[in-house]
């Protein structure tokens, strides 16, 4: 009895902390005296597809992995592998478990509702004994089920059976009902644009990390920006609900250039905090490599990958389990306004997000084309090459968008569906680039070494590799006047005023307010690359 009471108290504490408005059905029969609770079935594409049946009991989610999924078919006897209890916080998790972590893959809330034990008042004991009868009230599943351990005590293999009651449906197949009851999305759709990641390395209460690649971030408010303007050379500033210690705000990071104002650290912080709604969709949910110039861009900068020890605890980070022990382990993941501001305060002039996200860092979600000018390359040549790529992509029926780098070149970003390897995207970009290069051999060199290229442009496909990066849209570049990398439309390639460094941190906000971001609609597009 004492045991049971303790378990019920644990659940009560949990209930007090949770918002039960999210539950699909009201508490229903599972009042205070009922030993039942909530149930969920998650469809989980890990190494193998399976469904996870989870029954809330004793303050945790008792869990079974059902390879073929639960069914209403009373004739089916589905294998159900009893797996470890999950924290209750996992109840309505839908999103992606990063590759490399246990259970890496995508998860949807396939069904949820309430459950009640039958034939027993103590389901925890029933599970220990190896046989649990229970009723489900979900959106897809309903009626009486039995979970029964197959053979011996301690064996993890159980069977899941639906009784032949009024809810039974012969031939009912869970795969015919593939859509999440939480979001209406399929596993494929969630994988292409997850809204949350499950970080098994964090405590359960914090493990669900918002990604919101399609989310909406607010820029710093006018009041927050006014407070930043009024700070002296340093002090505490609050943005997006997070407090930052800022220092040396008057420091000139970018000297003035012809017709362009100088840019102080305060200016860069204000810029990052204002451009955030446009920039964060390219940064959230992926590690970032940072090019820092704490003494300004006229002094040498350095690349920083590891998150410094003094980073605030609200900064999202990701540990690269494949990094060698002495190499960079923990990367920053920039997913909020405050993180962008914090980066600027550390002189992080350039932000280079990974091409692959935490969902699976081995799978790129962009195929990147980099038109890299040589000394003899004129901007007109770059534009010609970009147009040739544009024609090639149109011909192939593939969507992509050009982006000026803020320095001399142009890149083309092509979204791809989940599941490609870097080898595949690299090879695809290589082939398209060869075809483009063949039409203008006088402009292009295929030499790896810069000094052997005779000053010609290079069509660089080699960035399509894990942990290689290109500069983020709307990131500043380390040059006088603080030019910015900006996505443009194909049509704008014909604009006589176009320059690769046309926009700066002082002018690009007007540009996006007028023209928006043409690349934004391609984020997360699950695009197939046609074979070449």
By the 8 A CB rule, do 375 and 455 touch? yes
Shortest CB 421 distance to Mn ion, Å: 24
Residues 45-64, one symbol each (x = binds Mn ion by CB under 5 A, - = not), give -------x------------
Closest residue by Cα to residue 283 from 315, 254, 253 = 315
Q: List for the chain the helix, strand, coil content (%; round to 5).
A: 25, 30, 45
Tokens matching residue 246: 């800022």
Shortest CB 42 distance to Mn ion, Å: 7
Among the residue ranges 43-51, 334-342, 346-354, 425-433, the one whose residues contact Mn ion (CB under 5 A):
43-51
By CB under 5 A, name the one of 38, 44, 185, 305 that touches Mn ion: 44
**CA–CA separation, 225 vs 203, rounded Å?**
34
Shortest CB 67 distance to Mn ion, Å: 10
**CA–CA separation, 446 vs 430, rounded Å?**
11
Hey, which residues between 424 and 483 contact Mn ion (CB under 5 A)? Answer: none
By the 8 A CB rule, do 244 and 341 touch? yes
- Examine residue 106 and tell whether it contacts Mn ion (CB under 5 A): no
Shortest CB 105 distance to Mn ion, Å: 8
Dihedral over Cα of 262, 268, 274, 280: its sign: positive
Residue whose CB is less far from Mn ion, 43 or 453: 43
**CA–CA separation, 141 vs 186, rounded Å?**
18
Shortest CB 211 distance to Mn ion, Å: 19
Residue whose CB is less far from Mn ion, 52 or 111: 52
Shortest CB 86 distance to Mn ion, Å: 9
Shortest CB 103 distance to Mn ion, Å: 5
Q: Whose CB is nearest to Mn ion? A: 44
Per-residue HEC secondary structure of 131-152 comes to EEEEEEEECCCEEEEEEEECCC
**CA–CA separation, 270 vs 344, rounded Å?**
9
Residue whose CB is less far from Mn ion, 44 or 260: 44
| 3-class secondary-structure state, position 348 | strand
Q: Which conformational region is residue 208 in: left (phi greater than 0), alpha (psi within -120 to 50 degrees), or beta? A: beta
Residue whose CB is less far from Mn ion, 65 or 284: 65
Q: How many residues bind Mn ion (CB under 5 A)?
A: 2
What's the alpha-carbon Rg for the chain, to the nearest Å?
A: 27
Residue whose CB is less far from Mn ion, 52 or 370: 52
Residue whose CB is less far from Mn ion, 10 or 200: 200
Among the residue ranges 11-19, 36-44, 72-80, 397-405, the one whose residues contact Mn ion (CB under 5 A):
36-44
Give the interface with Mn ion as residue ranges (CB under 5 A).
44, 52
């Amino acid at each position: 009895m004492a045991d049971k009471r303790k378990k019920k108290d644990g659940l009560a504490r949990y209930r007090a902390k949770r918002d039960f408005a999210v539950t699909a059905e009201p508490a229903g029969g599972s009042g205070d005296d009922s030993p039942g609770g909530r149930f969920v079935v998650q469809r989980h594409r890990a190494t193998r597809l399976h469904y996870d049946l989870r029954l809330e009991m004793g303050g945790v989610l008792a869990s079974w992995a059902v390879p073929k999924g639960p069914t209403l078919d009373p004739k089916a006897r589905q294998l159900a592998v009893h797996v470890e209890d999950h924290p209750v916080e996992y109840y309505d998790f839908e999103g992606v478990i990063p590759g490399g972590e246990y259970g890496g893959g995508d998860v949807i809330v396939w069904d949820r509702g309430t459950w009640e034990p039958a034939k027993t008042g103590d389901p925890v004991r029933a599970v220990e004994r190896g046989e649990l009868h229970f009723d489900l009230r979900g959106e897809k599943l309903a009626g009486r089920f039995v979970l029964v351990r197959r053979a011996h005590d301690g064996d993890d293999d159980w069977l899941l059976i639906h009784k032949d009651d009024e809810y039974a449906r012969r031939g009912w197949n869970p795969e015919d009902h593939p859509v999440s009851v939480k979001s209406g999305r399929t596993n494929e759709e969630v994988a292409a644009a997850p809204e949350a990641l499950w970080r098994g390395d964090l405590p359960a209460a914090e493990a669900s990390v918002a990604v919101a690649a399609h989310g909406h971030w607010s820029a710093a408010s006018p009041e927050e920006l006014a407070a930043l303007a009024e700070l002296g050379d340093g002090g505490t500033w609050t943005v997006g609900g997070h407090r930052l210690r800022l220092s040396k705000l008057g420091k000139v990071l970018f000297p003035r250039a012809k017709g362009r104002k100088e840019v102080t650290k305060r200016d860069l912080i204000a810029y990052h905090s204002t451009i955030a709604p446009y920039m964060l969709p390219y940064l959230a949910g992926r590690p970032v490599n940072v090019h820092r110039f704490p003494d300004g861009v006229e002094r040498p900068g350095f690349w920083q990958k590891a998150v410094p020890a003094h980073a605030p605890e609200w900064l999202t980070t990701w540990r690269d389990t494949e990094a060698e022990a002495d190499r960079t382990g923990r990367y920053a993941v920039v997913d909020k306004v405050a993180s962008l501001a914090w980066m600027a305060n550390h002189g992080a002039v350039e932000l280079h997000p990974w091409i692959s996200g935490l969902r699976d860092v081995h799978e790129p979600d962009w195929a990147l084309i980099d038109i890299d000018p040589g000394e003899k390359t004129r901007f007109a040549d770059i534009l010609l090459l970009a147009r040739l790529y544009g024609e090639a992509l149109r011909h192939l029926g593939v969507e992509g968008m050009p982006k000026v780098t803020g320095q001399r070149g142009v890149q083309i970003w092509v979204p791809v569906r989940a599941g490609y390897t870097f080898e595949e995207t690299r090879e695809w970009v290589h082939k398209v680039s060869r075809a483009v290069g063949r039409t203008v051999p006088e402009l292009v060199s295929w030499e790896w070494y810069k000094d052997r290229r005779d000053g010609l442009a290079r069509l660089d496909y080699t960035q399509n590799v894990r942990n290689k990066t290109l500069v983020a849209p709307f990131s500043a570049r380390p040059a006088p006047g603080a030019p910015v990398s900006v996505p443009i439309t194909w049509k704008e390639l014909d604009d006589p005023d176009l320059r690769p460094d046309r926009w700066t941190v002082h002018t690009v906000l007007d540009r996006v307010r007028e023209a928006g971001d043409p690349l934004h609609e391609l984020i997360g597009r699950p695009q197939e690359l046609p074979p070449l």
